[in-house]
Structure 1
Amino acid sequence: MNKIQDLQLLIEKAVSNLNYPASPAELYEPITYILSVGGKRMRPALLLMACDLFGGNVEAALNPALAIEVFHNFTLVHDDIMDNAPLRRGKATVHEKWNTNIGILSGDVMLVEAYKLMMQVETPILRQVLTIFSNTAVGVCEGQQMDMNFELQNEVAIDDYLTMITLKTAVLLGGALKIGALIGGAGDADADSLCTFGEQLGTAFQLQDDILDVYGDPDKFGKQVGGDIISNKKTFLLIKALELAEGDAKKELNRWLQTTDFDNTEKVTAITNLYNQLDVRKHAEKAMQTFAEQAFTALNQLSLPEERKQYLRNFADSLLIREK
């Protein structure tokens, strides 16, 4: 088995070797730019890992893995436009560096290029792989639309939030693993189980992200702690707090959500204190653990040697045991 870090390096090298036409420059330069600004390359590495797990040729899975990475970055380009985000991984977003129309059109070409790469699988599984990829892509778009809808809704149900993060974040992990498994020669049952493992693990990971945004150490977490609170982002913690809060706690929470002129540190402290009073972290951690357990249940169903299942367990643990 290849180490996940080695697979990430393999993807990094392959990404750097992608070549696009020189003209029109405004169409293709943004693609090279967004693909060059970094990222962990985790999603395509998972496709290679799944192929490797079932004894497949990792090199044969490289183009489909690149398809996952190009598709993922396409969604980032369009998401940044929707969010009016100025920065991505510390650098100017495509629509800021060029303009919105270029961002839209370059993103469109990235989606087409992703399909061209994904089509380079062996003919016997081509139709099945393209169906999985298409369904995955639709799911990601559905999740993004739900996320945007939530910004305009005063009330969001926990179940709807869990559906959203599964679609927006986790289905791409599951889809990548399923495609990689099929390329590696896995049967449909194993491919489905590995897909479920990825989706459940991805949802658990996103719930952990919600928790760490409030309770993490910024130096270890790698993000601004409290960013979700400052922006009133509807995370599991906020939704659960709105569900549980009563009386003065509810008034205080709503006051902070409706206030537009505030000190960031004061708001983060106040809402974190409310979260502590309502014990929402416990609820979030319980939900995270439930999805993690479902991921491990799916993993146990795989018809793989025990040492390869353990490889997946260790990988899952490395994702879910992050520095607080």
Structure 2
Amino acid sequence: MQSFTDLVAQFEHRFTTTLPFPESPATIYDPCRYLLALGGKRIRPVVCLMANELFMEINEDAWHAAIGVELFHNFTLIHDDIMDKAPLRRGQPTIHAKYGLTSGILCGDIMGIYAYHSLANIDTALQPVMQLFNKTAIEVCEGQQLDMDFETRMDVTLDEYIHMITLKTSVLLACSLKMGALVSGALGDSANKLYEFGKNMGIAFQLQDDYLDAYGVAEVIGKQNGGDILANKKTFLLVKALQNADASQRKQIEDLLNSSADDKVKSMLALFSATGADVLCRDLVAHYSHLAFQSLDDVAIPSKRKQPLLELAQFLLQREK
């Protein structure tokens, strides 16, 4: 079994040397190459390969699935950046900021189409793979819309928030794992357990991300903490604080959401703590992490073969940045 680091290097080489983009028109394909050259963690495609390797040596179908899922992920990033009016991605100008809005929209569109182009090369279990991928693609779009809808709502519930991050963040990770299993010929319970592993890991990861943005040590996370607070993002912490707040605390939270005061982050963190949102966030990270590890443990494969996936999950869910 290969480590995550080894497979990232292999995927990076194959991904960047086999991209199907033609030279012309450069106005659409140069922006695509620009974004992909910025790199990324490559978590989704590599867990697809790791899931495939649980059952067999990594096959060509797994590579097609991995490349397809990474192209789709980058398609979502391009359009998310446009909707968020984000100026930077991975420390560099976003596509729409660098090349213009039209190029950004078309680049995202065509990258999504090339994702299907890669998946169409799969021989093993193509129909269940495409059914899963189509369902996931729809869910990711629904999750993004819910995230945008929440921006104007003050009554978002915890269940609604978990549902949103499940769709926006975790189902693509779950899909990647299950596709890797499906193209190995593994059907039924093993593939479904890997899906549940990825889904719960994705939820825990996002909750941990919410917490670290607020409470992470700046020197460790590499940025000033409280970015989500300054942007008034509906994170778990804000949703739960609003849910638990008494009338006075709710008024303070609402005032801070309309404020640009220098002490906004400090004041909001105090309210998160006063309402118990911080403790509940850590508890939920532990809860969904446990569910993820239990699902992986239930996959009917020798534990030694699952070790690289277990180590990756532990790294992602126990990180401090």
Q: TM-score, normalised to structure 1's length?
A: 0.95
Q: 1:310 to 1:125 in 2, by over 3 A?
A: same
Q: Partner amino acid for 2:166?
A: T
CA distance in 2, matches of 1:316, 1:238: 26
Once the two structures are superposed, residues 76-97 of structure 1 have per-residue CA deviations (whole angstroms, 9 ceiling, x without a partner) of 0000000000100011101011
1:39-77 CA-to-partner distances (Å, cap 9, x unmatched) read 111110010000011114244421210111111000000
In structure 1, the partner of 2:172 is 172
The residue that corresponds to 2:52 in the other structure is 51
5 Å matches for 1:95-174? 95-122=96-123, 124-174=124-174
Residue number in structure 2 paired with 1:61: 62
Q: What is the 5 A alignment of 1:70-85?
A: 70-85=71-86
Q: Does 1:301 align with 2:298?
A: yes
- Give the superposition deviation at 1:170: 0.3
- Per the alignment, residue 214 of structure 1 pairs with 214
Q: Which amino acid aligns with 2:173?
A: L
Specify which of 277, 299, 310 is matched with residue 313 of structure 1: 310
- Equivalent-residue separation in structure 1 for 2:28 and 2:228 (angstroms): 33
More displaced 10-residue stretch of structure 1: 19-28 or 207-216: 19-28
Residue type at the aligned position of 1:11: F
CA contact (8 A) 2:273 2:279 kept: no
Q: Which runs of 5+ in 2 are unaligned?
A: none
Which residue in the other structure is 2:261 paired with?
A: 262
Cα distance change on mapping 1:7 and 1:58 into 2, 3 Å: farther
Q: Hey, what's the Cα distance between the residues in 2 that align with 1:19 and 1:106?
A: 14
Question: Structure 2-normalised TM-score?
Answer: 0.96
| Gap regions ≥5 residues in structure 1 | none
- Say whether 1:283 aligns with 2:280: yes
Deviation readout 1:97-151 (Å, 9 max, x if unpaired): 11111111111111110001011111x4111111111111111111000000001
1:262-291 CA deviation, whole Å, 9 max, x = no partner? 22xx11011111112222111111111221
Equivalenced residues, count: 320
Matched residue type, 2:261: F
8 Å CA contact retained: 1:64, 1:119: no
Show CA shifts across 1:211-231 (max 9, x none).
101111233224441001101
SS in 2 for 1:44: helix
Equivalences for residues 168-207 of structure 1 within 5 A: 168-207=168-207
Matched residue SS, 2:142:
helix
The percentage of aligned residue pairs carrying the same residue is 45
Give the letter aligned to residue 303 of structure 2.
Answer: E
1:136–1:28 Cα change, 3 Å:
same
- Contact 2:50–2:309, Cα closer than 8 Å, also in 1: no
Distance 2:219 2:5 in 1: 22
User: Once the two structures are superposed, what CA deviation does each residue of 1:162-208 show, in whole Å capped at 9, x if it has no partner?
Assistant: 00001100000000000001122322211011001000011001000
Distance 1:96 1:132, change over 3 A: same
Q: How far apart are residue 308 of structure 1 and its match?
A: 2.3
Query: What CA distance in whole angstroms lies between the structure 1 residues aligned with 2:23 and 2:209?
Result: 39
Amino acid at match of 1:296: F
Q: C-alpha distance in 2, partners of 1:213/1:120?
A: 40
* SS at 1:20 equivalent: coil
Among 262, 267, 271, the alignment partner of 2:268 is 271
- Given that 2:297 and 2:303 are in contact with CA atoms closer than 8 Å, whether structure 1 keeps it comes out as no
SS state of the match for residue 152, structure 1?
A: coil
**2:2–2:308 CA contact under 8 A, matched in 1:** no
Compare relative contact order (CA 8 Å, sep 6+) and give the higher one, 1 or 2. Answer: 2
Aligned-residue CA RMSD (Å):
1.4
* Matched letter for residue 72 of structure 2: F
